Chain A
Amino acid sequence: MNDILLSIRGLKTYFYTYRGIVHAVDGVEFTINNGEVVGLVGETGCGKSCTALSIMRLIQDPGKIIGGEVIFRGRNLLEISEDEMKKIRGKEISMIFQNPTTSLNPVFKIKNQIIETIFEHQDIKKDDAAKQAVKWLEATGISSPYERIENYPHEFSSGMQQRIMIGIALSCNPSLLIADEPTTALDVTTQAQILDLLINLKKEYGMSILYITHNLGVIAEICNKVAVMYAGKIFEFADVIKIFKNPLHPYTEGLLRALPKKSKVEKLQEIPGVVPPLIDPPLGCRFYSRCDKSKEICRNAEPKMLEIEPNHFVACHIVSKSR
């Protein structure tokens, strides 16, 4: 069960802008095993979505993947041709996005939009593709799928649209689903429905999920493992329970302490300062200026990701020294 499906090593994606080189993804490393839900969590602009797009090789100008490896089932996706990549996108790895309203094409019936993906990757007759499309609508919990499949996107609520997106993404039985903040634009009750749907579909079809979000509650609810990202780097990667019960990196600790408390008297812990610029990022640890435990070494040398405990990776000088 625990075979590695996707392994990312030293991934670097830079954006070459007029103002300088933006180090959006700067040496990201983590792995996803078969059947696992891995959460990628971090604040706005830390490079979460950029990491996802790099895996899919969907980075556009002026961005460029300049280094690292994305090993998917033994093949480095950064080295194969665009034609081969097209066979992987949508079939082996598919993706759903934050805003379902803009991800669906408003001028086509949703039927055509589901069939398009199926046609692209399978040698199949049109009628059979249509049948499959209906099946996927049903699987994602849309009632009366035979009638609804003839509708246009605007005739659905945003929760329904996200269900359709999930249906499209799963229509070729991918082994990895990348979900980029799929519930951020939705209300809590709708979010609960979508999370429930994802968990059930995962049980049924057994795909792995890379779940990107800034919501720690959602992470706790559906993920097996968590990668904490900050300013283009992964700071901590471990089991979900370890991250929440025994966070080792000072940034992870700070993030958890900043969550609103149940008790109203307790003051929320703040993380002082702001995220460093990604153009010319600081030399040493990127969290140095905001960290309350930092020492001299943190300013000059960049910490490496080390396995501090079995399957608990942390990139921090202070943590690795204390062990």
Chain B
Amino acid sequence: MEEFNLLEVNGLKKHFPLTGGIFRRVSGTVKAVDGVNIKIKSGETFGLVGESGCGKTTLGRCILRLIEPTEGKVLFEGKSLLKLNKKELQMFRQYMQIVFQDPYSSLDPRLTVRQTISIPLKLYNIVKGNPEGKILEVIRDVGLEKEHIDRYPHEFSGGQRQRIGIARALTVNPKFIVLDEPTSALDVSVQAKILNLLKHLQDENKFTYLFISHNLEVVRYMSDRIAVMYLGKIMEIAVGEELFERQFHPYTQALLSAVPVPDPESKKKRILLTGDVPTPINPPIGCNFNPRCSRVLPICRDTEPQLREIRKDHYVACHLY
């Protein structure tokens, strides 16, 4: 497979203003995404992990411009998405789709599966004439049957709804799909089905995925490369296997050691972090992780570390290396 960067994100920032009082004065900013650089290769699954509130979802949505970023660049096949006007953006969205976390709130309860799927078909003129064949094809691709077409979302289980959400994203033949925690609302056995489906669809259609999740085991299973995010910043990027074998950033080490292993005989040593994640309103000066880091150096408290390549394809933002 030829390798080129389908998507490049440069210095992306999203700051939400905090307003209060009668004049809605700005009293501070939440730095949800604070200077993120990533490159996603065509055909790969790029995993994005982090704890709740670290900005992973905001990052995913900023890339699609579902939220307008404050600063930075998003290049999709070399074109800058942030310069597009509304109409151009709409045409671009055909190539970039998203599957949301909660299959209960991401589907319109008043629309049948047929209606949900035919909206994007009409919008982008995917099929000329009768859309029936295409609807059926998409529905079968995600493992649903013909009789499901005229049902409403409430008639489906969580796993089936997530399949509808995936079907909706597939209809427009996208190149890039953001998967925002697609299985975290589901049980293990249903999760296995959805993960298998996503992998199968990728093999068939050569999709590029941005797979966002807080579940490290799932990300490991799905992704080619993984980025670890903490407080709006990327801490480490590496090839999946390598990240799990050898992590450099103290945060990644703690995060991975915290994952419970389904093996009662494993004698893994846990690195316990003290305290909680600081608020993104007033992130620490210097390295974001310095108040909780066990190997903190004086420099960590005043200079922000940059993401550097310390081994081949292994990027770390830490002063220790």
Q: Chain A residues in contact with chain B, CB under 8 A?
A: 43-44, 157, 159-160, 187-193, 195-196, 214-221, 223, 240-241, 244-245, 254-256, 258-262, 264, 267-271, 274
Cβ-defined partner of A270 (8 Å) among B192, B221, B261: B192
Q: How far is the CB of A261 from chain B (nearest CB, A)?
A: 6
* B272 surroundings in chain A (CB, below 8 A): 192-193, 196
Instruction: Count residues of B near A (Cβ-Cβ below 8 Å).
Output: 38
B276 within 8 A of A: yes
Residues from chain B with Cβ under 8 Å of A160 in the complex:
276
Q: How far is the CB of B264 from chain A (nearest CB, A)?
A: 4
Asked if B137 is at the interface of the complex by the 8 Å CB criterion, the answer is: no
Tell me whether A217 and B189 are in contact in the complex, defined as CB-CB below 8 angstroms, given that A192-B272, A260-B220 are known contacts: no
Q: List 22 A-B contacts (CB under 8 A).
A: A157-B276, A160-B276, A187-B51, A187-B277, A188-B51, A188-B258, A189-B258, A196-B272, A217-B259, A240-B264, A241-B264, A254-B189, A259-B262, A260-B191, A260-B195, A260-B220, A260-B221, A262-B221, A264-B221, A267-B199, A268-B221, A271-B192
In the complex, what's the smallest C-beta–C-beta distance from B212 to chain A, in angstroms?
14
Contacts A192-B258, A259-B262 aside, 12 further interface pairs with beta carbons under 8 A come to: A43-B187, A157-B276, A217-B261, A220-B266, A223-B264, A240-B264, A241-B264, A244-B262, A258-B192, A260-B220, A264-B222, A264-B240
Is the pair B255, A188 in contact by a Cβ cutoff of 8 Å? yes
The answer to whether the Cβ of B3 comes within 8 Å of any Cβ in the partner chain is no
Query: Does residue B61 face the partner (Cβ distance < 8 Å to A)?
Result: no
A218 to B261, alpha carbons, bound, how many Å? 7
Contact B258 A220 (CB under 8 A): no
A residues less than 8 Å from B266 (CB atoms): 220
Number of A-B contacts (CB under 8 A): 109
Of the candidates B52, B187, B188, B191, the one having the most CB atoms from chain A within 10 angstroms of its own CB is B188
- Interface residues of A, dominant DSSP: helix
Contacts of A193 in B (CB 8 A): 272-273
Bound CA–CA A6/B199 (angstroms):
45
Find chain A residues with CB under 8 A from B240 CB: 264
C-alpha spacing A157/B273, complex, angstroms: 15
Chain A residue contacts of B257, Cβ below 8 A? 192
A271 lies within 8 A of B189 (CB): yes
B176 → A minimal CB distance (Å)? 20
> Is B216's beta carbon under 8 Å from chain A?
yes
In the complex the two chains form, is A258's CB within 8 Å of B189's CB?
A: yes
Q: Are A262 and B264 in contact (CB under 8 A)?
A: no
Known A216-B188, A217-B259, A259-B188: A188·B265 in contact at CB below 8 Å? no
CB of B215 to closest CB in A, whole Å: 8
Nearest to A196 among chain B residues (CB) is: B272
Which of B191, B261, B276 is close to A190, meaning CB atoms less than 8 Å apart?
B276
Q: Tell me the nearest residue of chain A to B190, going by C-beta.
A: A43
Contact A255 B51 (CB under 8 A): no
Chain A residue at minimum C-beta to C-beta distance from B224:
A264
- Residue from A159, A190, A255, A261 in contact with B188 in the complex, judged by beta carbons closer than 8 Å: A255
Structural contact, A216 and B262, CB atoms closer than 8 A: yes
Chain B proximity of A101: nearest CB distance (Å): 13
Chain B residues closer than 8 Å to A268, beta-carbon distance? 192, 195-196, 221
Docked pose: A256 CA to B262 CA in angstroms: 8
Contacts of A43 in B (CB 8 A): 187-189
Q: How far is the CA of A193 from the CA of B266 in the complex (A)?
A: 18
Q: Is B218 an interface residue (CB 8 A)?
A: yes
**Complex interface bits, B259-281 against A, C-beta within 8 A gives 1, otherwise 0:** 11111111000101100110000
Q: Which 5 A-B pairs have the closest CB atoms?
A: A217-B260, A192-B258, A260-B221, A187-B51, A258-B192
Q: In the complex, which of the residues A159, A245, A268, A274 has the most CB atoms of chain B within 10 Å of its own CB atom?
A: A268
